[in-house]
Amino acid sequence: MKTSLLLPFFVALALLAGCSKPADTAASGNSTAAAPAATTGPRTINIEANDTMKYSVTSIEAKPGEEIKVVLTNVGVVPKEAMGHNFVLLKKGSDPLAFATAGAAAKDTGYVPASLKDQVLAHIEQLGPKQSGEVTFTAPTEPGEYPYLCTFPGHFQVGMKGILTVK
Ligand SMILES: [Cu+2]
């Protein structure tokens, strides 16, 4: 009589022990799933510039607040003094032609005019042949079109420009 009363008790203990195991597994599974999220970095956009004064990428789309890394590589051969390239991303509503015109007179600051620096969202320095530079930035949260350009004298005017579209 005593044994038959205890038996359900042991069964209940065994069930409890059995239940705790899947819970542990689920917990460790959660921490494993969190790891890839922690290693997620910015999305990389590779742009090449060359002696024909063009960017290989003239249109970038981004989500509001997205982390973006732009890597600019000058694949040309003409010396930097005659054919340098940079990347300057401007605020929405900026006038890239006015920026390029002012920049042409700002050789000492890499053709980025100090007077208009508040219009710059992201910037890669002037690069000579076979040089690379990069910049990581957070895309604006406000949807719209953000112009980017090379400010080496004359390059914007012949088409060294692009648009970052946030949407
Ligand atoms: Cu250029």
Taking the centre of ligand 1 as the mean of its atom positions, its distance from the CA of residue 16, in whole angstroms, is 70
Nearest-angstrom CA–CA distance, 117 and 123: 10
Ligand 1: distance of its center to the CA of 65 in Å?
27
Residue 16: closest CA among 5, 6, 8, 4: 8
Indicate the Cα dihedral angle 32, 34, 38, 44, nearest 10°. Answer: 90
Predicted confidence (pLDDT) per residue in 34-44, tens digit: 444 556 799 99
DSSP tally for the chain: helices H, then strands E:
3, 8
Q: How far is the CA of 48 from the centre of ligand 1 (A)?
A: 10
On the 0-12 / 13-18 / 19+ scale of CB atoms within 10 A, 83 is buried
Q: How many residues does the chain have?
A: 167
For residue 45, how far is its CA from the centre of ligand 1 (angstroms)? 17
**How far apart (Å, rounded) are the C-alpha atoms in residues 94 and 148?**
10
Q: Give backbone dihedrals phi and psi of 61, rounded to 5 degrees, phi first.
A: -110, 140
Q: What is the pTM of this model?
A: 0.77
What is the 74 CA–ligand 1 centroid distance (Å)? 9
In CATH, the number for domain 43-166 is 2.60.40.420
- Residue type for 72, please? L
Distance 119 CA to ligand 1 centre (A): 19
49 alpha carbon – ligand 1 mean position (Å): 7
Question: From the CA of 50, how far away is ligand 1's center (Å)?
Answer: 8
> pLDDT in tens for each of the 167 residues of the chain?
444 444 444 444 444 444 444 444 444 444 444 444 556 799 999 999 999 999 999 999 999 999 999 999 999 999 999 999 999 999 999 999 999 999 999 999 999 999 999 999 999 999 999 999 999 999 999 999 999 999 999 999 999 999 999 99
Residue with tokens 């040309």: 76
For residue 63, the CA-to-ligand 1 centroid distance in Å is: 27
Question: What ranges do the domains of the chain cover?
Answer: 1-40, 43-166
Cα 91 to averaged position of ligand 1 atoms, centre (Å): 19
